[in-house]
Amino acid sequence: MLSASPNPKFFDGEHALKSLAQEATPGAEPAPTHVAVYFGPEGEETPDPYFEGQGPARSGCTFCGACMTGCRHNAKNTLDKNYLYLAQQLGAEILAEQEVVAVEPAGSPDGSQGYEVTLRPSTTWLKPKTKLQAKGVIFAGGVLGTLNLLLQLKRGALPNLSPLVGQQVRTNNESLISVTQLEGDADMSQGVAISAILETDAHSHLELCRYGAGSGAWKLSFLPLAEGSNGWIRLWRMATDFFRDPVAYWKYFRVKDWAKSSLVMLFMQTLDSTVTFTLGRFGRMQSAVVGKDKPTAFIPEAISLARRMERILKGKAMMFGLTPIAGIPGTAHILGGAVMGKDPQTGVIDKDNRVFGYENMLVCDGSMISANPGVNPSLTITAISERAMSRIPDKANR
Ligand code: SF4
């Protein structure tokens, strides 16, 4: 359905990753990622290449690198080009810009007689809430959307949800470090956004990521790479790094197009670590570390690879978000929180994604994932969701 296929072209960024592999992982080569992109003739429109004419026309990828901020070339296989498009053809109605704020059993408390779903416009406060009646409900709002709603509902309309809602949230053990070249004219923005992957050891992968030319504002979301056991030590190291080489910082801040000069190193591990999401005093979702297996903000292997890349590119490594100051790990792939189990004491959903304690209620998004896959999880999420859908009888057989 996502028509994932291998990235066919390597550009400057991938060649830098190859150089890194030669130094850091002799014998291991970066492999092209399988990505949900149409690699037809560049920029040319083609009638639906995937679904025997039932899908929309597509255009070949131009390798502009802007996949993460939205493909403007009709080449990325986003859900509105496949699942949602085909569902609409079959009569599904899509209500855009609506946020579900309540789900209540209608009639029977276990939901066997259906649910009342309350929606509010997500882009304006001026329009009223609306209500829908549904025979069944599937939560698929992404981890942050689904868990926020499930945690609220457990306090109110759905008290029989497993006590594990919000627990076993995983970060894919990730680290996001950018490296910006300070000399040379390589164009890191050319290529698909996630283009090559390198297995750095038995449980770790390093992926090359990029943004399209012109996405320089991302520079503001990176701070100097500094590790250390507390925030004061890291601040001190940032300051000493600045005074050791102020010219490098001067060049970094003068970089004209950050996206053209920078690549992002996404390091991911299968090693296990979890955090917990709960509702705070004012009903806002918050994270907490429970237990010893917590994700770390500073993964030594990731930092070592970034330092090597710094030397290869004659560049400057920076770390994503507030990680260097607050010591909070960042992730592009938050997972878990409504995990599978054999009963409500071990999971929120069963092996067919059905929510324990309620009828005709499923969770089908990243919150169902019960381990760190150590790679991008989108194919895993769609595969498990398709399996869950295959367990629902066709209307004709009910
Ligand atoms: S690189 Fe990404 S954004 Fe650019 S055309 Fe290809 S799929 Fe679209």
Cβ–ligand 1 contact at 316 (below 6 Å): no
pLDDT at 327: 87
CA 377 to ligand 1 centroid distance, Å: 20
Measured from the Cα of 71, ligand 1's closest atom is 3
Cβ-contact 168, 338 below 8 angstroms: no
Q: Is 27 left (phi over 0), alpha (psi -120 to 50) or beta?
A: left
Indicate the pLDDT class of residue 397, thresholds 50, 70 and 90: low
CA 272 to ligand 1 centroid distance, Å: 33
* 368 pLDDT higher than 70: yes
Cβ–ligand 1 contact at 374 (below 6 Å): no
Indicate the pLDDT class of residue 398, thresholds 50, 70 and 90: low
CA 260 to ligand 1 centroid distance, Å: 15
* pTM, two decimal places: 0.91
Does residue 250 sit in helix, strand or coil? Answer: helix
Token pair listed for 85: 């498009």
Q: Across residues 292-297, what is the average pLDDT?
A: 83
pLDDT at 221: 87
Output phi, psi for 117, to 5 deg: -110, 130
Domains of the chain: 5-19+36-88 (no CATH), 95-169+335-397 (3.50.50.60), 170-326 (no CATH)
CA 123 to ligand 1 centroid distance, Å: 27
Report the C-alpha gap between 256 and 287 in whole angstroms. Answer: 37
Among protein residues, the one whose CA lies closest to atom 2 of ligand 1 = 67
DSSP H stretches of helix in the chain: 12-24, 83-89, 142-155, 231-244, 246-254, 258-261, 300-313, 323-326, 378-390
- Counting residues of the chain whose pLDDT is more than 70, the rounded percentage is 99
Among protein residues, the one whose CA lies closest to atom 8 of ligand 1 = 71
Measured from the Cα of 63, ligand 1's closest atom is 1
Measured from the Cα of 70, ligand 1's closest atom is 3
Cβ–ligand 1 contact at 73 (below 6 Å): yes
Cβ–ligand 1 contact at 358 (below 6 Å): no
* 257 pLDDT higher than 90: yes
Measured from the Cα of 66, ligand 1's closest atom is 3
Query: What is the average pLDDT value for the chain, to the nearest integer?
Result: 94
Residue in 29, 19, 363 with CA at minimum distance from that of residue 196: 29
Token pair listed for 225: 């790479």
DSSP H stretches of helix in 49-196: 83-89, 142-155
Residue in 147, 162, 158, 146 with CA at minimum distance from that of residue 110: 158
333 is known as an active-site residue: yes
- Kindly list the distances between the CA atom of residue 230 and the CA atoms of 102, 320, 324, in Å, as whole numbers in the listed order: 41, 17, 10
Indicate the pLDDT class of residue 125, thresholds 50, 70 and 90: confident
304-329 confidence digits (pLDDT tens): 999 999 999 999 999 987 788 888 88
Cβ–ligand 1 contact at 192 (below 6 Å): yes
Going by DSSP bridges, is the β-strand pair 204-209/194-201 parallel, antiparallel, or unpaired?
Answer: antiparallel
* 291 pLDDT higher than 80: no
- Which H helix or E strand runs over 195? strand 194-201
